Amino acid sequence: MAKRKSGGWLETVKTVVYAGLIAIGIRTVAFEPFNIPSASMVPTLLVGDYLFVSKYSYGYSRFSMPFSPRLWEGRLLGAMPERGDVAVFRWPRDDSTDYIKRIIGLPGDRIQVIGGLLYINGTPVRREAAGLCEQDGTGVRIRSRRYRETLPNGRTHFICEFSDQERFDNTEEYRVPAGHVFAMGDNRDNSSDSRDFGPAGVGYVPIENLIGRAEIIFFSHEGPFWQVWNWRFGRFLDVIR
């Protein structure tokens, strides 16, 4: 009887260990959950969105692993992101901090913003009025202008602009170096991104720092988690574009 009881505990421990290893494996090579803590990607992503990031989209670097051990340099099975991807990456100035932005520029691209309008390789990106951005997910009404932006590869997404004369609405021309990408938030006037090379900015993002591509929102809420009436059911299973 005692042996059977002991064996039962052993089987339980083994099951828990196996389940943990499987979860770590999935998180490392397939999908990792990520939550949105700021309004920098409004209107695409709201504060309180929870999403899955595909780890295999760009291959694997040390940042794909738990605790980012320095087991190798560069990327294994590496693939270049597409312009317009919403990607999670490690902040170049502190590789313990995750950021999420939209990939706008690829290696060799020239990126500039003039009067709020994005230019890629000297050509203005098409921007069409699309109403208003009215909230960021915390209940705060932001009331900025909403535009549909179409990138050179045909990818479209929405952005928010308070005006066309904010800090990063008129920039120098950036030349994306080899091995890097240029990332911007969709909430253009409320985003620390590759336009900012200051101490709190992002600058160019090394491709090695990419963690994965944001794929789908699996849960979303506004306010305390336990308030089911504040769950945003309409955002569940939204594909991120």
Structure confidence by residue, pLDDT tens digits, 223-240: 888 899 999 999 999 999
Asked if 5 is an active-site residue, the reply is no
- Among the listed residues 38, 64, 101, 144, the single catalytic one is 101
Q: What percent of the chain has pLDDT over 90?
A: 66
User: Mind listing the pLDDT tens digit for each residue in 63-78?
Assistant: 877 767 677 677 877 7
Identify the pLDDT of residue 119. Answer: 98
- Among the listed residues 38, 40, 191, 220, the single catalytic one is 40
User: Mind listing the pLDDT tens digit for each residue in 133-174?
Assistant: 987 777 777 789 999 999 999 999 999 999 999 999 999 999
- Residue 112 maps to a domain: yes
- Residue 86 maps to a domain: yes
Residue 93, φ and ψ in degrees, nearest 5: -90, -15
Identify the pLDDT of residue 27. Answer: 55
Asked if 101 is an active-site residue, the reply is yes
Report the domain count for the chain.
1
- Residue 16 maps to a domain: no
CA distance 39 to 135: 9
pTM of the predicted protein model: 0.87
- Residue 38 maps to a domain: yes
Dihedral sign of CA atoms 208, 211, 212, 214 in order: negative
The mean pLDDT of the chain is: 88
Q: What is the mean pLDDT of residues 15-42?
A: 70
- Residue 5 maps to a domain: no
Instruction: Count each helix (H run) and each strand (E run) in the chain, helices first.
Output: 1, 15
- Residue 103 maps to a domain: yes
- Residue 61 pLDDT more than 80? yes
The pLDDT confidence band at residue 23, using thresholds 50, 70 and 90, is very low
- Residue 1 maps to a domain: no
**Domain encompassing residue 213:** 33-239
- Residue 124 maps to a domain: yes
* CATH code at position 131: 2.10.109.10
- Residue 40 pLDDT more than 50? yes
Exposure b/e, 102-140, CB count within 10 A at least 16 = b:
bbbbbeebebbbeebbbebeeeeeeeeeeeebebbbeee
